Chain A
Amino acid sequence: MKKIFFILITMVISVSCMNKLDLYPHSAVAPGSATEKDLPALEIGMYNRVQNNPPTEAWILNDLLGGTVNTLSSNPIDLINSILSPLNGIVSNSWNGYFGALYQVNNIISITNDFSSTAERDRVKGTAHYFRAYIYYCLVTHWGEVPILRVNTNDLVSRDPVEDVWAFIEEDLDEAMELLGTSTNYYYVSRDAAIALKARVMLSQQKNEAAATLAESLITSGKYQLDAFEKIFRKIQNTEVIFAFENNTEESNNAISNLFYGYFMPNKGSYLYRPSQSVLGMFEDGDLRKPMSLDNVAGNDVVNKYPGGQGGRDPVIISRLAELYLISAEAKGRVAGLSRLNELRQKRGLEPVNPATNDAFLNAILLERKRELMAEGFMYYDYVRTGKAMSELGITKIQLLLPVPGAERRSNPNLTQNEGY
C-alpha cells in the first residue's frame, strides 16, 4: 500500500511546471535595455506622449479660461468659475498630463545623456529639451511655482520659485537650439521651433528686446511666410507653421474638434464649447480669418478651426509665424512694432490701424491676438501677463493662477496651494 501511495504522490509531483510561471508581456520590453538602436522609436514615442498625455482641454485651457468660449446657456465667467477649483477634472487632468509627458521626456534625456554625440542622438536630445521647455511653459503660466524636475523621481517634491522655472525653461531652449537643426517637416521639432517658443517665453517675462530679436530672426529668415487660414486649418501644406503636432486620428486621443462641433453637423461632435458673444462680434468686415474661425450651422455658432469633428483629429499648432509677428509688434512697442501688426492685418484682409496711446496699442495687439489665435490656447495667459485679466474677464486676483489639484496635494503634502484656493 505504501508503495502505491508513494507512486501516486510521485505522479502528482512529477507534473510540476514551475518554469511555466515565468510569463512576459507580448507588446512590451523591459526599460533599461534601451540601446542607441532604439533612439528613433523612443523619439517617436516621446512625440506620442507629449501629444497625448495632456488631456484635450489642456490645449485650449487658455481659451476656456480666456473668455473666448462658453458652454450652453451661460457666459464665460461661469465656465471660468467652474473650472477654477482644486477638484475640477480639467485642472487635475492637465496637471497630471503635463507631468506624465514630462516623465517620458526626462527618461529620454537620461538615456541620451549616456550616449555619445551623434546627429541622431543630438536631434533626439534636443527635441526632448524643447518638449521639456514647452511643458514647463504650460506649467508655469498656469500654476506659477512648480517643482523643477531635471530627472525623474519618486520623491515628494516641493514647488520652486517662478524665476527659477523661467530660467530652467530658457536653459532647456538654449540646449535645444544648440542641438537641433532643421526638421523633415513642421510636424517635427526644429531649431526654429525652439526659437519661436523662446520668443514667447521672453515676451512672457517682459524681456522684450530678446523676444523681438528672436521673433524677427524667424520673420526675416525667409523660411516662413504668413499663409491662408484655408491651408493652415485644413491640414494643407503651408508656409506659416513652424511646429505643430500632427495628431493623426489613429495615433491620438486629443480630440479638440469633438468639443467644438455638434451632432447637428455632418462631422458631429459633443459641442461642449461654443464661441462666446465677444468672439462672435470681434471680426471686422472683410477679415479673411473669419470663415475658418467661426461657422454657424442651423442657428448654432461653432468654432471652425478643427474640422475633424467627432471621429477625426486635426493638427495642434504650437508655433506659427503670425504669433511671431504679434510677439515682435508687442515687444517692440507702439512706435517700432506697429508695422508688424499692420503687416499681419493687411495679410488678413484688414486696413491698417494707428493706436494713439501705448495702452490702445496693447489693446489692439490683444484684440488681434484674439482674432488670430482664438481657440489655439492663448487668451487667458495673454490677459494675465498684460495685467488685463481681471478687467477683461471679470475674475478675481486669486483666479490669475490655477489651483494645484486637490488630489495631488493629498498624495504630496509638500506641495503648497495657490493663494485663495
Chain B
Amino acid sequence: MNLHHFKERRTICFVLFTIMLLIVAAPLQVCAQGTGSMNGVNKTISGVVMDDAGEPIIGASVSIEGTSNGVITNLDGEYRLENVPANGTLVFSFLGMRTQKIAVAEKTNINVRLAESTVNIDEVVVIGYGTQRRGLITNAVSSVKFDDSNYKVSSLSPAQLLQGRVAGVNMSLGSGNLGSRERISIRGASSLSASNEPLYVVDGVPITNSNGNLYDFGEAMSSLSSLNLTDIESVEILKDAASAAIYGSRATNGVILITTKSGKEGRTEVKVNLNAGVSHWANKNKVKLADSNLYLEAYNEGVDNYNRQYGLQVGDANYLTHISNPHPTIRDTDWLDLITQSAFQYNANVSLSGGTKKTNFYIGVGYSDQEGVIRTNSIQKMTLNAKINHEFASWLEAGANITGTYIKNNQVPGANSGAQILGRAIQKRPFDLPYKPNGEYYLGGTDELAYHNPVQILNEETKYVENYRYIGNFYALLKFLNNRLTFRTSFYPDMGYTYDYTYYNENSPYGLGVGRIIDYNRFVPNTTFDNIVTYQDKFGSLNFSAMAGHSYQYIKNRTSMIDANGFSSPAIDVVGVAAQVAGVNGTLSEFAMESYFGRVSFDLLDRYIFNATLRTDGSSKFARSVRWGVFPSVSLGWNISKEKFFTLPDVDLKFRASYGKTGNQESIGNYASQPQMSDGLNYGYNVGIGVTNFGNEELTWEKADQYNLGFDLSILSGKVNMVFDVYQKNTNNLLYNAPTPATTGSTSMTKNIGSMRNRGVEFTLNTYLNLGKVQWNSQFNISSNKNMLTSLLGDELIAIGSNRALQVGKELGAFYLYKMEGIYQYDGEIPIEQYNIGVRAGDVKWYDADNNGIINDDDRVVMGSAFPKFFGGWNNTFKYKDFQLDIFFNYSYGNKVYAEWKTESLAKIGYWPGYLEDYAKNRWTGPGSTTKYARSINGSALSGFSAKNSDRFLEDGSFIRLQMLTLSYNLPKSILKPLNMKGVRVYCQADNLFILTKYSGYDPEVSRSMDPSFFGMDKFNIPSPRTISLGINANF
C-alpha cells in the first residue's frame, strides 16, 4: 500500500475537492535527476526505490553502510548516490518498511522493492523523553502508526483510534453520543480510584485530561476529543513499568505518547482529505416492548392482584381501578423515532509540509461537522497545527510546535441524567403521546406521563460545551562533541478553556417556568518546563547512552459559575439579564510537581541490551514528609538471533525482561492531605465556615511493581512477526476514597487501603503474505488480564455503590447482587417475614444466605466481573492491483454487563411505565406457569421486590464487532502523472456494520460509569452508531 503517498486521511465535500483540483492543476515543480556514470574505485549508483506494489517511495533513505553518506529518494522514488566504494553495501530504508541491504559489487543501477513491515527493528520508537531503535527496546512498548487504511474517519478522540489495535489495551466509550468520554485500560485496572486513566503526552507535553464538560448533563465529555487526530503520526503505548517508570508517579496506568506529523526533508507535500458520511442507529428495534394490548392486560392484572392481596373492595379508599387506553383510535407512538435522526458528517483536512536539511515545517488545518444519532446532538471541530524547526548552527537547533483546537459539543442528556433521553423515550407506555390535542406537551411526572417527555427535553433545552485548547512546544537543542552530548530545554504550555452553557427555557421541565441558565467557565493552564541532558558514546562494540533531566509542572484550575433564572422569552439567552441569580460559584485549585529523572542504556554488539531509569517526583498533593516518591526501573534484552550459534535464516528473535516501579496520585484531590475549614457555609445571608475536609496526612504514594517477560520473533524475512509478553503488576497502598462509618462525621475518606494484582499475557501476530495476486496483511492481537484484590483494610468486603463490591480474592468492583432461585409458586412457600411486606406467589424467590427469611443486605453474593477474560482485535488488509480492502474486527469475551436499564421500570410488571415484551408476555399467572418471570403486581415497591439488583439482570457482554470495513481505490499513476499529482485514493468506509452478542441490550460496549469499580453498567446509554462514509485523499 502506498503509505508514503497518502499519509493522511479525511475527506469529504467533493465540490470543495474539485475546486482544489482546478487550482492546483498548474504543474508543481518536479526535480528529476539523470543518472551519471562512474569512474575510479568509487562510483555513482542510481536507481528507484519502490514498495512491494511497484509504486515509487518518496523520501526513502539510501546510504552506504558504515558511513554517513546517504541520500533521500525524490518524488519519483529515484536516488543517485556518489562516491560509493565498489565493495560497499547500500542500505535502503523507509518508515514502516523492512530495511534492505544490497552489496554494490559491479552494479551501477540498483532498483529495490521494500517490503512492508510493522515490526521493524530499525524503526525509531518514541519512548519517554527520547527515542530508541525498535531493536534496542527491552520493554513492552506498542506503537501504532496511522495511515489511511487504519484510520477511522468518524473518530473524535485518539483513544477511539486505538480500539482493538493494541494487545493489552482495552478502550470503551461511555456511549454512542458524540464526544462521550472514553476509558482506556492498559493491562487492566491498576488503581481503585476513579482515575484509572493513562497519562497522555502529546509531543512531550503531559496534558491534562479532566472532563470536557462542567455542568453535569448525565454523561462526561472526553477532553481528548478536542485533539487533532489527522495530524497524528503515531501513538506509542508504554505498557510495562520499565517503559513507563520514566514518567514516575503518574505512570501506573500506562502512558500514551502521541507524536504528531512533521515535515520531511526533500518532500514538499500538499494533502487534501475530504469525506462525508451518514450515521444511524442500526439495531433500534432490538429491545421489544409490550404493545398497548399486552401492556393493559398486564397492568390491569397487577391492579387485580393488588386489590385481592390487600382485600380491597370497590369503595375502599385504597381500592385501585383498571385503566384503559386513553387514545384508542391512535396508533402506538414510536418514541425512538421521535428522538433519533439520520446523522450526517463532513470532515475536511489539508496539510502542507516540507523541509530541507536544516528546516522542516508542517501546517495542518482540519474541520469537522458531525451529527449524532440523537436529535440535536452535534459537534463542530476546528484544528490548526503549525510545526517548525531549524538548525541555526551545527550546535544549535530550535523549534516550535503550536496546536490550537476548538470543539463545540451540543450535548443531549446522558445516562446519568434524570432526563436521560433514551430511557425517557423507551419507558413510555405504548399509548402515551408527546403532544396533547391542543399542541402542548404532555408533561412528565403526571398521571399522563410517568417520566419526562423526551421530545420536550430535546426541544426546550439548549446545552453546549465549547473547548478551546492550545498546546505549545518550544524548545532549543544544544549539541556538542559531534552530537554526542546534547542539552535540550523545553517549555510546554497547555491551555484549556471550557465554556459550558445550559439553558432550560421556560417551556423546559427544568426551566422553573421562567427559564434557567447555568453559565460555567473553566480555565486550566498547565505549564511544564523540562531540561534534559543526553550523552552517547561508543567504546568498541559497546554503545552507551545516558539521559538526565529535570521537570517542573504546574497546573491551575479556575472555574466560575452563575446559575440564574427569569428570562422574558426563550429568545433571551444570556445570563446577564436574568431576573434572579440563584447561585454563583468560583473555585481555584493548584497542583505542582517537580521531578528528576534519568536513563542509561548499554548495548553490546547489538546483542545484549541494558536499560535502566530512575525518577523521583515531589507532589504538592502530599504532606511534606511523604511528598517524594522514587520510581526505578531496569530492563534487559538479548537479540539471540545475532549470536553466532544462531543459524536459522531470516529469523530475528529477541528476549526481553523488565522490572519497574510506578505511582499514581491522580485519583486524589489536590488538598486531600489537608484538613480544611471552608467558607461558603452560609445562613441568613451571613458567611459561615465549617469543616469540609477531614484530611489525611498519612496519605502517601500508591505504587505498583511490574514485571514483564517477552520475546519478539520475526520469521520468513519479516513476513510473519510475533510479539509475546507476560506480566504481573502489583499495586500497593491503593488510594481510595474508602467508606467510613457516618458516625465519624463523614461517609468516606481518602486512604491508602490495600493492594491489587494484575496478571496477564499478550500476543500479537502480524503477517504479510501473498495469496497469488492478492497481498494479504493481517494484524491479530489477543490479551488476557486477571485482576484481583489481594488485600484490603481489615480484609472485610466493602460494598460500593448499589451493586458492586471490593473483596479480597475478587476482581475490582465485582458485581454484588441478589441471586434468583426461582419464582414462588404458592403463598405457602413464602417465609412469613417476606409475606408480611407483601410478597406473594409469583414473586421472585431470592437466595437467603443466612436463612432468616429476611432478604437484606447480607444476602447479596459477589459474582462476575465487568472485565473480559480475553479481548483483542483482528485487522485484515487485502490488496489487489490498485484496490484495497480493510476489515477490522474487535472482540471481547467473558465481560459481564449489568442491564441496569431494566430495573428502573421495564422489568417491573405492574408498575406504571412501559414493559419489556418478554417480561410482560411470560409473566407468572399461576402455579407452574413460569420459574423465570415474576407476576404482575401494582406499584413500584411490590413489583420492585422481584426487580432487585440481581443476577436476573447480569448478562454476558461478550461480543465480536465488525468495527470497520474500508474499500479503497488508488488512481493509477498514468492518470495522475499528467495532473502532477502524487496520489489520489477514493474510499468507502463502514463503521460498526454488525455486532454479534448475546447481550439483550443495544450495545454491550457502553457504560454509564468510566470508573473501573463501576464499569459495565448499561443504563440506556446510546449505542455506537453505524456510520457509512465516502472520501477522497489527494496528495499533490
Contacts and interface: CB of A to CB of B under 8 A. Distances in A.
Interface of A: 1, 4-5, 8-9, 11-13, 15-18, 20-32, 34, 38, 40-49, 51, 71-75, 77-79, 81-82, 85-87, 95-96, 99-100, 102-104, 106-107, 147, 149, 152-154, 156-157, 187-188, 246, 248-251, 262-272, 277-278, 281, 298-300, 309-311, 396, 398, 403, 405-413, 415, 420-421
Contacts of A269: 445
A11 B688 CA distance: 48
A48 B682 contact: yes
Contacts of B446: 262-264, 271, 298, 300
B677 interface: yes
B341 to A, nearest CB: 25
Given A16-B594, A262-B446, A410-B739, A21 B940 contact: no
Contact of A420 (B532, B799, B833): B833
Given A12-B548, A74-B941, A263-B444, A44 B686 contact: yes
Contacts of A157: 741, 743
B445 A42 contact: no
B531 interface: yes
Contacts of A102: 745
A20 B692 contact: no
B587 interface: yes
28 contacts: A13-B550, A25-B674, A25-B678, A27-B678, A31-B676, A41-B689, A44-B687, A47-B683, A73-B911, A73-B912, A78-B939, A81-B942, A82-B944, A99-B742, A100-B742, A103-B746, A104-B690, A104-B691, A107-B691, A248-B683, A249-B582, A270-B418, A272-B445, A278-B317, A299-B447, A409-B857, A410-B739, A421-B854
Contacts of B624: 22
Contacts of A1: 480-481, 485
Contacts of B743: 99, 147, 149, 153, 157, 408, 412
B671 A25 contact: yes
Nearest to A85: B856
A147 B745 CA distance: 13
The 10 closest A-B pairs by CB, nearest first: A103-B745, A44-B688, A406-B857, A45-B688, A74-B939, A45-B690, A82-B941, A28-B676, A47-B683, A311-B512
Given A21-B620, A77-B310, 18 more contacts: A12-B532, A12-B548, A20-B552, A20-B620, A25-B670, A25-B678, A26-B589, A38-B689, A40-B686, A41-B679, A44-B688, A78-B942, A87-B856, A103-B691, A156-B741, A270-B418, A311-B565, A411-B741
B95 to A, nearest CB: 31
B645 interface: no
Contacts of B554: 20
A408 B681 contact: no
Contacts of B687: 41, 44
B797 interface: yes
Nearest to B478: A8
A348 to B, nearest CB: 24
Contact of B739 (A71, A272, A411): A411
A27 B549 CA distance: 35
A265 B952 CA distance: 39
Interface of B: 310, 317-318, 320, 418, 443-447, 450, 452, 480-481, 485, 487, 509-513, 516, 529, 531-533, 535, 548-550, 552, 554, 565, 581-583, 587-594, 596, 618-620, 624, 627, 670-671, 674-693, 739-747, 796-799, 802, 833, 836-838, 854, 856-858, 911-912, 938-942, 944
B690 A46 contact: yes
Contacts of A30: 674-677
B673 to A, nearest CB: 11
A16 B550 contact: yes
A27 B587 contact: yes
B802 A5 contact: no
Contacts of B592: 17, 20-21, 23
Contacts of A412: 741, 743
Given A44-B682, A73-B938, A5 B691 contact: no
A9 B550 CA distance: 9
Nearest to A409: B857
Contacts of A408: 741-743
A71 B687 CA distance: 38
Contact of B742 (A5, A23, A95, A153): A95
B619 A21 contact: yes
Given A21-B593, A411-B740, A9 B689 contact: no
Contacts of A85: 856
A300 B743 CA distance: 41
B367 to A, nearest CB: 39
Given A28-B679, A31-B677, A49-B681, A8 B620 contact: no
B940 A78 contact: yes
A44 B687 CA distance: 7
A17 B552 contact: yes
A103 B689 contact: no
B692 A187 contact: no
A210 to B, nearest CB: 30
B683 A51 contact: yes
A86 B533 contact: no
Contacts of B418: 270
Candidate in A5, A149, A246, A311 with the most chain B CB atoms within 10 angstroms: A311
Contacts of A405: 742
A409 B739 CA distance: 11
A98 B444 CA distance: 32
Candidate in B582, B593, B836, B941 with the most chain A CB atoms within 10 angstroms: B941
A152 B744 contact: yes
B445 A29 contact: no
B675 A31 contact: yes
Contacts of B681: 44-45, 48-49
Contacts of B833: 420
Candidate in A22, A28, A49 with the most chain B CB atoms within 10 angstroms: A28
Contacts of A95: 742
Contacts of A11: 487, 531
Nearest to B489: A11
B481 A72 contact: no
Contact of A12 (B509, B533, B619, B942): B533
Contact of A42 (B510, B627, B689): B689
Contacts of B594: 16-18, 20-21
A253 to B, nearest CB: 10
B582 A311 contact: yes
Contacts of B939: 71, 73-75, 78
A72 B944 contact: no
A15 B531 CA distance: 9
Candidate in B447, B552, B745 with the most chain A CB atoms within 10 angstroms: B745
A18 B618 CA distance: 8
B799 A5 contact: no
Candidate in A74, A154, A281 with the most chain B CB atoms within 10 angstroms: A74
Contact of B590 (A18, A23, A72, A147): A23
Given A27-B587, A78-B939, A72 B746 contact: no
Nearest to B516: A311
Contact of A24 (B619, B671, B740, B912): B671
Contacts of A5: 485, 533, 535
Contacts of A299: 447
Contact of B513 (A31, A45, A266, A413): A266
Contacts of B618: 18, 21
B799 A406 contact: yes
A262 B443 contact: yes
Contact of A4 (B318, B485, B692): B485
B797 A410 contact: yes
Contacts of B676: 25, 28-31
A96 B690 CA distance: 17
Contacts of B912: 72-73
Contacts of A22: 620, 624
A265 B942 CA distance: 30
Candidate in A12, A157, A300 with the most chain B CB atoms within 10 angstroms: A12
